[in-house]
């Protein structure tokens, strides 16, 4: 079964395309949340806040929108200036409808599924004296509006 998984392509672009189509079909405006700190992300630096950027990818807002297995690319105007945008698929964190907030965070790929695996070395153990609050774990999800 592991060999079957390693031969599969990434599921992220398929989920992104399906969700964008669903948002468009419902007359809403698709936005993507992007990790602007990853390599090969090309967005206007002025649009980046806290290392992330929200991009409106509605067909009326962009020119030549392309969502392929490698990423998202288009040209859009930022402050009246045309800017080419390129976002590798790994940098797309979530897709949602601006009007309702409905959408989803894109799950990470399984090792071998379209992207090279990262370092499999486990992280170093945390000091036992660290205080992370109740239960020793902090929430890792945040609300995206």
Please indicate, yes or no, if residue 59 is contained in any of the structural domains: yes
Alpha carbons within 13 A on the beta-carbon side of 109: 23
Question: Is the pLDDT confidence value at 59 over 90?
Answer: yes
SS3 20: helix
Question: Is the pLDDT confidence value at 114 over 50?
Answer: no
Least confident of 44-53, 89-98, 120-129: 120-129
Domain count, the chain: 1
Q: In what order do the strands lie in the sheet with 52-56?
A: 52-56, 30-35, 92-97, 103-105
Q: What is this structure's pTM?
A: 0.73
Please indicate, yes or no, if residue 145 is contained in any of the structural domains: no
CATH number of the domain to which 42 belongs: 2.30.30.220
Full domain range(s) for residue 56:
2-107
């Amino acid at each position: 079964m592991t060999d079957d998984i390693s031969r599969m392509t990434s599921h992220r672009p398929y989920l992104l395309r399906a969700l964008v189509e669903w948002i468009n079909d419902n007359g809403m405006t698709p936005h993507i949340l992007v990790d602007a700190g990853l390599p090969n992300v090309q967005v206007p630096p002025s649009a980046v806040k806290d290392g992330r950027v929200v991009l409106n990818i509605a067909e009326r807002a962009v020119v030549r929108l392309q969502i392929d297995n490698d990423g998202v690319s288009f040209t859009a105007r930022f402050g009246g200036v045309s800017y080419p945008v390129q976002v590798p698929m790994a940098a797309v964190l979530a897709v949602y409808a601006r009007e309702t907030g409905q959408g989803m965070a894109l799950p990470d790929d399984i090792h071998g599924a379209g992207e090279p695996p990262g370092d499999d070395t486990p992280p170093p153990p945390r000091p036992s004296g660290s205080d992370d609050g109740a239960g020793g774990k902090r929430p890792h999800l945040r609300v995206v509006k």
